[in-house]
């Protein structure tokens, strides 16, 4: 018996796995019981029966213990896996920041508790500017690396600046700043923006992005979607703001509601051709001969009255109605092209239209169906569109140029497009942004403007000076060498009938 106990003890010390130790303990108990002296009064058959029952009980207990241990391990593994899945479901895999789901949960908690807090909390939306051009120019892999690097920058700022950072998707991020004043929140946002716009440089690329930021307070009675919508509205306002940071206020909602109403009414007006018109502004040569008309869209709504042109175009742009407006303008200009045979027609188009293959085809089909000579139509595209979408627009521009359309850069001087690059894209004319003339006039120095004109002419480009309102503007435009003149000094936008007589006789001049 001593020998057996010694062997079992040795085996127990050498066995490290808990289940195996349990089995050894149970076997040891069974051996001890079997070696106990048998009572004389018990029959051998009864003893055998008891021993069998003991062995069966020991075996059952061992099985139950092993199963419970295995079940405990599985439960622990499942709990760990569930915990990891919950964490993973709330983390953006590209940047390592918390994701939209985590943001919604955070905002829900703050909205539930905000009535008890004396100091407000804020939700902040950050949207990258010019990221799409980086993605398209360098490729999505580089774009992802930039986003990952941006995520690292925000992660480093979280503890030092007291906010939580989230990636909502694409190039949109969010911050939650708790228990801070609005002034402090603006300071934090400015610091975050300064960090984001710092150039991203690696061995194979160098990129700079902008950042627009919208701020909204987390207030009682709001839903999570309300807070995010308010921050979004402020962010879009920031895109038009000089400091790129805006705070939500009530008039923003009123503007959204007005724009939604105007959008539905503009769709109806385009479908019914009601309240829409094309006005024209003439463009003069240096010796005051009219050479072209610029077609300008006008809309007068029964409910809202005359809608400012910029507002109407902005609504059309945001709701994919620009194509409809352009086609309307072409159809409305056919009379002008017919009654004024020597004039060319200038039409404003945008990059978003040229990126759609259907637009170029539809425009060419429309011009062809009305037997309009394509060189009489000049398509004017904003310089900023060339800067952001030049490479994407190149195929459409090449097709339109081959068809015979003239291509002009509108608002030249408002961005930093290369003239050589523009020339390669088929551009034949520049139309100065009004700021170029304004700067020359205010500084009493037209040297910069003249240098731009000379450079453009060296590349075979014509130059139009827009925004001429008086004789002083005209003198500057002529002195710097501009080829064409346009502005209220000569006329305001009007119907074609007003200009027909000026083209009735050859070389008829407008007396300034």
For the chain, domain boundaries: 2-86, 98-248, 273-503
The residue-averaged pLDDT of 311-318 equals: 92
Span of 134-143, 348-357, 374-383, 486-495 with lowest mean pLDDT: 134-143
pLDDT of residue 164: 95
Instruction: Please check the confidence at residue 89 and state whether its pLDDT lies above 70.
Output: yes
Q: pLDDT at residue 402 above 50?
A: yes
What are the φ and ψ backbone dihedral angles of 215, each rounded to 5 degrees?
-120, 135
Q: Which CATH number fits domain 98-248: 3.30.160.110, 3.20.20.30, 3.30.70.920, 3.30.70.270?
A: 3.30.70.270
- Mean pLDDT for 57-82 is 66
Whether 51 shows a pLDDT value over 90: the answer reads: no
pLDDT given at position 64: 67
User: For residues 356 and 393, what is the distance between their CA atoms, to the nearest angstrom?
Assistant: 9
Are 139 and 66 contacting, i.e. CB atoms less than 8 angstroms apart? no
Q: Do domains 98-248 and 273-503 have the same CATH topology?
A: no
Nearest to 466 by CA among 441, 489, 443, 433: 433
User: Of the given ranges (28-37, 114-123, 377-386, 448-457), which has the lowest mean pLDDT?
Assistant: 28-37
List residues bridging with 285 in a β-sheet: 484
| pLDDT 10s digits, 433-464 | 999 999 999 998 999 999 999 999 999 999 99
Q: Please give the Cα distance from 144 to 408 (Å, whole number).
A: 35
**Entry pTM:** 0.66
CA distance 15 to 280: 97
* pLDDT over 90 (residue 234): yes
Q: How many CB atoms lie within 10 A of CB 367?
A: 20
Give 183-207 pLDDT, tens digit per residue: 999 999 999 999 999 998 877 778 8
User: Are the C-beta atoms of residues 216 and 230 closer than 8 Å to each other?
Assistant: yes
pLDDT at 414: 87
pLDDT of residue 37: 56
DSSP lists the bridge partners of residue 158 as none
Q: Residue 131 pLDDT more than 70?
A: yes
Looking at residue 88, its pLDDT comes to 57
Q: How far apart are CA 456 and CA 397, in angstroms?
A: 19
| Mean pLDDT of the 359-382 span | 91
pLDDT at 498: 63
Instruction: Please report, rounded to a whole number, the percentage of residues in the chain having pLDDT higher than 90.
Output: 55
pLDDT, greater one: 64 or 99: 99
Q: What is the pLDDT of residues 261-271, one digit of tens each?
A: 999 999 999 99
Residue 82 has pLDDT above 50, yes or no: yes
Instruction: Identify whether the C-beta of residue 385 lies closer than 8 Å to the C-beta of residue 350.
Output: yes
Backbone phi and psi for residue 204, each to the nearest 5 degrees, phi listed first? -115, 0
Average pLDDT, stretch 38-66?
64
Share of the chain above pLDDT 70, in %: 79
Q: Is the pLDDT of residue 297 over 90?
A: yes
Q: What is the mean pLDDT of residues 212-234?
A: 94
Q: CB burial class (10 A; 0-12, 13-18, 19+) of residue 371? A: exposed
Give the CA angle between residues 41, 44, 50 to the nearest 5°: 95
CATH hierarchy code of domain 273-503: 3.20.20.450
Band of the pLDDT at 341, cuts 50, 70, 90? confident
Lowest mean pLDDT across 113-127, 155-169, 275-289, 362-376: 113-127
What's the gap between Cα 72 and its chain centre?
49
Q: Are 482 and 465 in contact (CB under 8 A)?
A: yes
CB atoms within 10 A of CB 152: 13
Q: Which two tokens stand for residue 361?
A: 């085809």
Distance, in Å, from the CA atom of 244 to the CA atom of 247, rounded to the nearest integer, reads: 10
- Give the DSSP letter of residue 167: E
Residues in the chain: 512
pLDDT number for residue 466:
95
Do 278 and 332 touch, CB atoms closer than 8 A? yes
Distance CA 365, CA 368 (A): 5
Q: Which two tokens stand for residue 377?
A: 């139509």
Of the pLDDT bands very low, low, confident and very high (cuts 50, 70, 90), residue 388 is confident
């Amino acid at each position: 018996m001593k020998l057996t106990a010694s062997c079992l003890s040795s085996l127990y010390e050498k066995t490290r796995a808990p289940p195996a130790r349990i089995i050894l303990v149970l076997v040891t108990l069974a051996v001890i019981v079997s070696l106990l002296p048998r009572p004389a009064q018990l029959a051998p058959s009864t003893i055998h029966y008891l021993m069998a029952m003991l062995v069966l009980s020991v075996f059952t207990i061992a099985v139950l213990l092993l199963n419970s241990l295995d079940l405990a391990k599985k439960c622990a593994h499942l709990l760990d896996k569930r915990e990891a899945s919950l964490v993973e479901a709330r983390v953006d895999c590209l940047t390592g920041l918390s994701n939209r789901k985590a943001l919604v949960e955070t905002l829900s908690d703050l909205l539930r508790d905000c009535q008890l807090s004396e100091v407000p909390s804020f939700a902040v939306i950050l949207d990258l500017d010019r990221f799409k051009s980086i993605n398209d120019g360098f490729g999505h892999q580089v774009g992802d690396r930039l986003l990952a690097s941006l995520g690292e920058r925000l992660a480093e700022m979280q503890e030092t600046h007291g906010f939580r950072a989230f990636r909502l998707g694409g190039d949109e991020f969010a911050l939650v700043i708790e228990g801070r004043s609005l002034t402090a929140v603006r300071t934090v946002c400015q610091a975050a923006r300064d960090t984001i716009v710092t150039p991203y440089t690696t061995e194979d690329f160098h990129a700079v992005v902008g950042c627009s930021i919208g701020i909204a307070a987390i207030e009682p009675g709001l839903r999570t979607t309300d807070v995010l919508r308010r921050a979004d509205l402020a962010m879009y306002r920031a895109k038009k703001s000089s400091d790129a940071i805006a705070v939500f206020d009530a008039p923003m909602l009123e503007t959204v509601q007005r724009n939604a109403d105007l959008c539905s009414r503009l769709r109806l007006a385009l479908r019914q051709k009601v309240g829409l018109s094309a006005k024209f502004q003439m463009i003069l040569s240096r010796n005051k001969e009219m050479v072209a008309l610029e077609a300008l869209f006008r809309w007068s709504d029964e409910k809202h009255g005359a809608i400012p042109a910029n507002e109407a175009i902005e609504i059309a742009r945001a709701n994919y109605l620009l194509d409809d407006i352009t086609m309307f303008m072409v159809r409305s200009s056919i009379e002008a092209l017919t009654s004024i045979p020597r004039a060319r027609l200038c039409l404003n188009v945008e990059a978003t239209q040229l990126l759609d293959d259907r637009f170029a085809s539809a425009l060419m089909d429309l011009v062809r169906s009305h037997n309009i000579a394509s060189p009489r139509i000049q398509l004017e595209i904003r310089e900023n569109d060339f800067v952001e979408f030049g490479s994407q627009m190149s195929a459409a521009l090449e097709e339109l140029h081959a068809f015979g359309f003239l291509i002009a850069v509108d608002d030249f001087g408002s961005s930093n497009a290369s003239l050589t690059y523009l020339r390669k894209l088929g551009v034949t004319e520049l139309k100065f942004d009004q700021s170029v003339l304004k700067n020359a006039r205010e500084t009493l120095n037209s040297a910069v403007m003249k240098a731009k004109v000379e450079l453009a002419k060296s590349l075979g480009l014509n130059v139009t000076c827009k925004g001429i309102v008086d004789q002083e503007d005209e003198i500057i435009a002529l002195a710097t060498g501009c080829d064409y003149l346009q502005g209220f000094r000569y006329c305001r936008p009007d119907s074609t009938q007003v200009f027909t007589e000026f083209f009735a006789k050859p070389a008829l001049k407008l007396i300034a």
